[in-house]
Chain A
Amino acid sequence: DTAVSQTPKYLVTQMGNDKSIKCEQNLGHDTMYWYKQDSKKFLKIMFSYNNKELIINETVPNRFSPKSPDKAHLNLHINSLELGDSAVYFCASSQWVGGVNEQFFGPGTRLTVL
């Protein structure tokens, strides 16, 4: 059983295009996240949603728009893709376990912008 899944796993596209990445979790968690991992493997939070509501939006260009149709899904739409958007994007979900907010990560989506 896949806990946090993302589609697609790989995405290659041209500059200027619009693309979406989908994320689904079957863990019953209330909170979901999007992280970006750059070419140097640095992971940084982009967005956090709790019960379909945005609760954090780090300094991310407004070309990136998260959408949460329900508690189990958090999709990421990117407009006018740029070369610098090439990265691995990870979705995660979390719950409180024993007083600790434990996050579970998806397998990642490798986005390459040409």
Chain B
Amino acid sequence: AQSVTQPDIHITVSEGASLELRCNYSYGATPYLFWYVQSPGQGLQLLLKYFSGDTLVQGIKGFEAEFKRSQSSFNLRKPSVHWSDAAEYFCAVGEAAGANNLFFGTGTRLTVIP
């Protein structure tokens, strides 16, 4: 069965510092992997996605993520965090066929301090 684990419930970083949010997945085939961001009171916005090809993918707002099959991981990174990045971040794995559902992790809340 598909599942996603985000080990960090809450992370606090200083503005300008680098960021890495962890995501581990369990999926029987080649996964579709996504990172979404949810700002307070808002819906989910897609940051980036991976299906195949280059294992380092670039997304919006200066985010990138690296797919590592050997570690079943898809960690999200940003070299320099801005105060506006404070939000909830969700990693998700998508089905390759059938209903194409997304299975989400429990999210990581990012706090940015001045």
Contact = CB atoms under 8 A, between A and B. Distances in A.
Contacts of A64: none
Interface residues of A, number: 26
A105 B51 contact: no
Contacts of B100: 31, 48, 94, 101
B42 interface: yes
Contacts, number: 59
Contacts of A104: 46
Interface in B22-36: 32, 34, 36
B82 to A, nearest CB: 22
Contacts of A60: none
Interface in B60-114: 88, 90, 94-95, 98-104, 106-107
Q: Secondary structure of the A side of the interface?
A: strand
Interface residues of B, number: 25
The prevalent SS among residues of B at the interface is strand
A43 B94 contact: no
Contacts of B95: 101
A40 B88 CA distance: 11
Given A42-B104, A108-B43, A99 B99 contact: no
Given A43-B107, A102-B49, 18 more contacts: A31-B100, A33-B101, A41-B88, A42-B107, A43-B90, A43-B104, A45-B101, A45-B102, A48-B99, A50-B99, A56-B98, A56-B101, A90-B43, A99-B52, A100-B32, A100-B51, A101-B100, A108-B43
26 contacts: A4-B43, A31-B100, A33-B101, A41-B88, A42-B104, A42-B106, A45-B103, A48-B99, A48-B100, A55-B98, A55-B99, A56-B101, A90-B44, A99-B51, A99-B52, A100-B32, A100-B49, A100-B51, A100-B94, A101-B95, A101-B100, A103-B46, A105-B36, A105-B43, A107-B42, A108-B42
